[in-house]
Amino acid sequence: MSPELAETTQLRAALHHLTEAVAPIDLGLDPARRPAAAELRDDIVWSINEYAIARLGDLDAPVVAVLIGSTGAGKSTLMNSLAGTGVSMPGAVRPTTRHPIVWCHQSNAHRYESGFLTGYGPDAARSLEIVPMLDPMLEGLTLVDAPDIDSVEEVHRDIAEELLAAADLCVFVTSAQRYADSVPWEILKAAARRNLPLLFVLNRVPWGAQAELVADFSRRLRSAGVMGDRDSVMTIDEQTVAGDWGGLPGHAVAHVRERLSNAGGGSRRSTAEQAVRGAVGSLLTKTEALSNLVDAENTDLFRLEELTRSAYADQMREIEDALRQGTLIRGEVLARWQNFIGTGELTKALADGATRVRGWAVRVFGGVGEKSEKVGSEAEHELVNLVSRRADLAANAVASAWELQEGTAAYVRSASLWRHAPETPDRAQQVVEDWISGLSRMIEANGMGKKRFAQVASLGVNAVAVSLMVTVFAYTSGITGTEVGIAAGAAAAQQKLLEHLFGSAAAKSLAEEARADLIKAIASVLEADADRFLSLLADLKPSDGTELDAAAKKVREALRAWHV
């Protein structure tokens, strides 16, 4: 494979990869941003598939020169004059050109019958008329008469723009009377941004006014950044058009024919190269603009994600604060536990020794384990309700913020996202039950000696687990207060009991591990509730922009290395 072919292949592959990165992009968060992104996306994909890749696949194909101009500029007359016969017949009713007229060499007619542009063809939705001839100029050039760019028919304007996007050369035709009209200048600027080779034809120039009109037209072109210093305006004098075939004598357009022959002859490859480089450069500019929109979208989505996580994190912090203060469970639940175990009697028994503790345990737990289970059940129910309430508060905060964002407001029009998910209470119930079951396993796996194991067994593992649970709920970190005072009393007694059973260090370790497990369990419930919102945002996320930027970089590098 020659170096030139390898470079061309690499550029085509890079462009194909760019379409794969661009095509899926759909910005759904900001309604104002979405149409602009969709237009850029569609333009990029269309231009790559319909022009750049196809042109790179056949650089020796005829130069496609498209006649562009306003209604009545004389495009059809120019084509007929170059052909010496009625190829594109003008008329009094505007617009005269209602579909593209493709004037080409007979040997190239097959190129335009199918595969020229998607949706175009003699029998396609957008019809085009192919006029094959044996004119030598057409061996390296095909001339297309496009519908008017200022046509009253929108479809005609769209066709003109698409033909221009697929052109290797733009022949801009205007008249001495209309060259200052605003509409053509917009399409000229678009062609210039693409660095498309341009030829300028000023038609119907009155005798004696050529110098003045050309100077003014050229000044306007250069001022708009459309015309280079080495470019020039070709003129066609005002004269009578032959009524039977709609053209002018050959000598009237000889200079135009010469320029076109050169573009499709000795300069064919350089014309194609300039057109391809300009088209790809324009694609990269549009890709950068699209990337900026994607970045803006992702920034807004990230802000909403952070807001959502923050709302649930705030509620998790509230739960942790309540746990530190011993107020996670209502005081009356802890008070019932104190009454059940007889905190004062337990403290006295602990002071008197192991025998008194065993006597206390038999009195409290012996045969009445259902009492400890009832307290445990109350605490469990309280905790499940607390987690559900906190999920409600977080969901309400998120929904309130989403209501202010156009792209997410529709999601919160129903009441479901303003409160916790339907499955959240059941999920909370399950994780709390699992946590309580885990306390018993934690106690059994503590690595106690035979003596301590016998002490735990005498109380019952489940009862000791409830004591550990109360210790977790009631531990106050030294904070004081009316509600906290109840918790502190319960915590002190339970802590001493655990120390008696396991030793000081092991009791502290058990309580810390149980507390950490509880925090982790509750956090999992709130995270699952938050996932409702985060999954909706994930569906809106176009991409992280990295793949798009990487694909554009590959195209830029391949274009830099490409030579014809």
Residues forming beta bridges with residue 65, ordered by sequence position: 143, 169
In three-state form (DSSP H/G/I as H, E/B as E, the rest C), the secondary structure along 477-496 is: CCCCCHHHHHHHHHHHHHHH
The rounded distance, in Å, linking the Cα atoms of 260 and 198 is 11
Q: How confident is the model at residue 353 (pLDDT cuts 50, 70, 90)?
A: low
Out of 37-41, 279-283, 354-358, 366-370, pick the least confident.
366-370
Nearest one of 167, 94, 99 to 131, comparing CA atoms:
99
The beta-strand segments (E) located in 162-197 are 169-175
pLDDT at position 350 over 70? no
Q: Would you place residue 371 in the very low, low, confident or very high pLDDT band (cuts 50, 70, 90)? A: low
- Tokens at 63, concatenated: 């130069």
| Helix (H/G/I), strand (E/B), else coil: 89 | coil
**% of the chain at pLDDT higher than 70:** 79
Q: Look at the block and give the residue holding tokens 């038609």.
A: 203
| Lowest mean pLDDT, pick from 49-53, 379-383, 410-414, 417-421 | 379-383
The single residue listed with the structure tokens 């913020």 is 401
The strand pairing partners of 458, in sequence order, are none
Residue 340: other Cβ atoms inside 10 A: 16
* Contact between residue 443 and residue 464 where contact means Cβ atoms under 8 Å apart: yes
Residue holding tokens 């994607």? 294
d(C-alpha 65, C-alpha 37), whole Å: 30
Average pLDDT over all residues of the chain: 84
Helix axes 75-83, 254-264, angle to 10 degrees: 80
SS3 of residue 552 by DSSP: helix
Per DSSP, the chain holds a count of helices (H) and strands (E) of: 21, 9
Class of domain 63-266 (CATH, top level): alpha beta
- Give the chain's end-to-end CA distance (angstroms, integer): 14
Q: Which residues pair with 172 in a beta bridge?
A: 68, 200
Pairing label, strands 198-205, 233-237: parallel
The alpha carbons of the chain give a radius of gyration, in whole angstroms, of 41
Helix (H, G, I), strand (E, B) or coil at 200: strand
Does residue 496 or residue 354 have the better pLDDT? 496
Residue 332 amino acid letter:
E
* Amino acid residing at 559: L
pLDDT at residue 482, as a whole number = 41
Cβ(378)–Cβ(336) below 8 Å: yes
DSSP letters, 377-392, are HHHHHHHHHHHHHHHH
- Cβ-based neighbours of 554, under 8 Å, separated by 6 or more: 14, 17, 18
State how far the Cα of 264 lies from the Cα of 167, in Å rounded to an integer.
13
Domain segments of the chain: what residues? 63-266, 302-547
Tens-place pLDDT, residues 99-120: 899 999 999 999 998 778 888 8
Q: What is the mean pLDDT of residues 116-133?
A: 87
Confidence check: pLDDT of 174 > 90: yes
pLDDT at 489 over 80: no
Between 391 and 502, the more confident residue is: 391
